Amino acid sequence: MSKVIGLTGGIASGKSHVAAAFVRKNIPVVSADLLAREAVKPGSEGLLAVSRAFPEEMSSDGSINRQLLGRKIFHDPPSRILLEKILHPIIRQLYLKRKEALSKENPVIVYEVPLLFESGANKEVDLCVVVDVPESLQLSRLMERDGLSEKESLLRIRSQMPRADRLQLADRVIEGNLSRVSLDSVIEDLIHQVLSGK
């Protein structure tokens, strides 16, 4: 079985940037955000369940209107909890399948999952790595990248675990504003750490 590095961090902290550095080292990355999209692909049970629970957030072609559903769940915590209840078990099954397939040829894999601790997936990985930035930088990145207002961005940030709690649960912390060169050396060190089991 492969060793699994769980890669997490608040929204827009820089996880994808760090994930790309692992890929440069030929370490495969499984993204929970992509699995969440796979969970609602056309004709899937996930899509059917979401469309029953959120009929007003669907597009006319039967797919999810991601902008509307995002707005709904980040404004209304019970809706967010309901959506997670539908999708997280499906995402977990998709992850386990992907992990099994990758395990045959890869000593280390990365599971990039924004809600690593919130979903309990941290119990199923060998090392929890948190990408961390100050909240002011996180906020400006999120507003710029997704074109969201400050209010909308703060709602999204606050729907996730507070930064201090996440840092406490981390085995390793990576600063989310490292240059590519510094990041590559941190990543090499991490791969070594997880392989040596320290």
Q: Given the rule CB under 6 A, which residues bind ligand ATP?
A: 9, 11-17, 33, 114, 141, 145, 176-178
What whole-number distance in Å separates Cα of residue 18 and Cα of residue 174?
A: 9
Instruction: Return residues touching ligand COD (CB under 6 A).
Output: 11, 32-33, 36, 64, 66, 69-70, 73, 80, 83-84, 87, 91, 113-115, 119, 159-160
| CB closer to ligand ATP out of 2 and 153 | 153
Q: Which does 51 bind (CB under 5 to 8 A by kind): ligand COD, ligand ATP, none?
A: none
Q: How far is CA 79 from CA 23, 30, 37, 71, 85, in A?
A: 34, 26, 18, 10, 10
Residue 8, CA atoms < 13 Å, CB-side half-sphere: 27
By a kind-dependent CB cut-off of 5 to 8 A, residue 14 interacts, out of ligand COD, ligand ATP, none, with ligand ATP
C-alpha–C-alpha distance, residues 180 and 158, integer Å: 29
Q: Is 101 a known ligand-binding residue?
A: no
Q: Is residue 15 part of an annotated ligand binding site? A: yes
Tell me whether residue 6 is annotated as binding.
Answer: no
Nearer to ligand COD, 132 or 191 (CB): 132
Provide the CA 173 distance to its chain's centre, in angstroms: 16
Rg, the chain, Cα only: 17
The answer to whether 16 is a known ligand-binding residue is yes
